[in-house]
Structure 1
């Protein structure tokens, strides 16, 4: 079962009139590394652009003779690697599937997900260096590296999949959406990336259907954009998933673009009445909406990306 995170929600911020990440966390109480049977963790510091960033890794305790897949997981604004692991209980994927997980931190407060960002911080370059160094130093399969993230981390995942699809085999964005600036430079990346998206219709931070003058497109249009990149058919197969939890006030609809020209796929989990939360987690800050317990977000991400190799 997931464990909750107690946090203080600070003032809402606005960026160009769009509340992309509407809360900042001053402290993350109880965000510690949860001991998990069969799982070992360690930290490694990477210096990039003169800035030292310490990445948290989880790996199977038992030695393996073969290389393992690795999931790169990007935390939300105001979070950190430990808090992201605590929220998602990603250690359970390590235990159950024998994968490696890398949780890197931001350099200066948030991920630079906008390609028109004027900051000199190069998060795309840092993540590429992290992936390359992980493959070189550890028994990680370069053809089975995946990326996911929540909120600000989801936005960075979308940008990375556009700009460096040669480094990852598939990606998943939870509570993320395509910025218009990113759409403009992401019409024909060097290769197609399978993409899954998980979004709540009642998300007040990353809106499912933002207004005309927002800096992002809608969530459905974001999924359609990735379907176009992957050469998928125009219409997805839509499935209503079982309403496992009748008390949370949510239902989940899965839109799947299959039969893509590249052999890839695109999925969109629409959580009706869902907020800005990680599905399946008991964490639900009062100002971030409803958490759905009809799906396990961590498992849904892994079940999608694991089907692909680069």
Structure 2
């Protein structure tokens, strides 16, 4: 209830807003519209519905930072579209829980980027070989996320060249799948305690930052465990995903300890010829949880990469 108190609930394919914008930032050319293509533009977090071309709809939370709401507007659009972070919850969780877990709202307000928190199907994502109802029902989550990205970029709110997908656990696996199947939509991904469990042969490189605890027993660092309730095959090791994205970008081996913060030690390939890189952050003794510094480190990584 506390989380939802700050949200507005839109009907159909539109969302609520605060009414006509009255505030203008320095040098603003016109007033901010209350909505753009039905999407609220006031600062805060808005609950939205999205038509995905099937029975029913999908939902997501959209966080709009004050830097957009109070910034410059021209022709009913932001003068400069913002980066977009799509944050995917873990299995048996929700968009509200991901919002609380990641803390991206405060970071977005400080740095200036949009955050979308989509809701999975019956609390799960179809990441390939995992997980649960979304996998069993063959839900087209790649299609859903593609529509979400296209909606926000098409409205001129988000910069199509600076779209980033991150996730935790099952959501992290979904971030992998999105980059595997739609690399042209994603500039970089951030994976936290997830495994690559889908066929992956992208036609262009995608930058990837991977966090994984060395003591994770749900998705073991070196592989193992059980992929799903109806699939007893083990998860592949983290090194498998690293190699997939290294090969996609024709990148060298990881250089050790490029970043060291507390229990987090990050190795990195450095940038390749096409701008992508892979950074692996081991969390010494870390279990299946979102590290406290992960969100800030992910944004710093995202900010350095664009599809351009």
TM-score (norm 2): 0.76
Partners of 1:75 and 1:223 lie apart in 2 by: 22
Larger radius of gyration: 2
Per mean C-alpha deviation after superposition, the further-off stretch among 129-138 and 268-277 is 129-138
Task: Determine which of 198, 208, 220 is the counterpart of 1:207.
Answer: 220
Partners of 2:281 and 2:109 lie apart in 1 by: 25
> Against the structure 1 CA distance between its residues 113 and 308, is the aligned structure 2 distance closer, same or farther, given a 3 Å change threshold?
same
Partners of 2:301 and 2:91 lie apart in 1 by: 24
- 1:279-306 CA-partner distances (Å, limit 9, x unpaired): 11xxxxxxxxxxxxxxx11111111112
Task: Indicate the SS of the match to 2:51.
Answer: strand
Q: 1:32: Cα distance to partner? A: 4.7
Partners of 2:83 and 2:261 lie apart in 1 by: 30
Q: 1:108: Cα distance to partner? A: 3.0
TM alignment of 1:1-310, pairs within 5 A:
31-32=3-4, 39-48=43-52, 49-61=54-66, 62-64=70-72, 65-114=79-128, 117=135, 119-179=137-197, 182=198, 185-186=199-200, 188-211=201-224, 214-239=233-258, 241-243=260-262, 251-280=263-292, 296-310=293-307
Partners of 1:39 and 1:94 lie apart in 2 by: 11
- 1:172-191 CA-partner distances (Å, limit 9, x unpaired): 11111212xx2xx31x3121
Q: Is the 8 A contact 1:51 1:107 kept in 2?
A: no
Task: Indicate the SS of the match to 1:134.
Answer: helix
Where in structure 2 are there 5+ consecutive unaligned residues?
Answer: 8-41, 73-78, 226-231
Q: 1:126: Cα distance to partner? A: 0.7
> Against the structure 1 CA distance between its residues 235 and 101, is the aligned structure 2 distance closer, same or farther, given a 3 Å change threshold?
closer
Q: Is the 8 A contact 2:187 2:305 kept in 1?
A: yes
Matched residue count: 253
- 1:233-262 CA-partner distances (Å, limit 9, x unpaired): 13433346143xxxxxxx221110114232
Partners of 1:104 and 1:70 lie apart in 2 by: 13
Q: 1:169: Cα distance to partner? A: 0.8
Partners of 1:165 and 1:301 lie apart in 2 by: 18
> Against the structure 1 CA distance between its residues 240 and 128, is the aligned structure 2 distance closer, same or farther, given a 3 Å change threshold?
closer
Q: 1:159: Cα distance to partner? A: 0.7
Q: 1:30: Cα distance to partner? A: 5.8
RMSD value over aligned CA atoms? 2.2
TM-score (norm 1): 0.76
Per mean C-alpha deviation after superposition, the further-off stretch among 150-159 and 208-217 is 208-217
Partners of 2:137 and 2:255 lie apart in 1 by: 38
Q: 1:67: Cα distance to partner? A: 0.9
Where in structure 1 are there 5+ consecutive unaligned residues?
Answer: 1-28, 244-250, 281-295
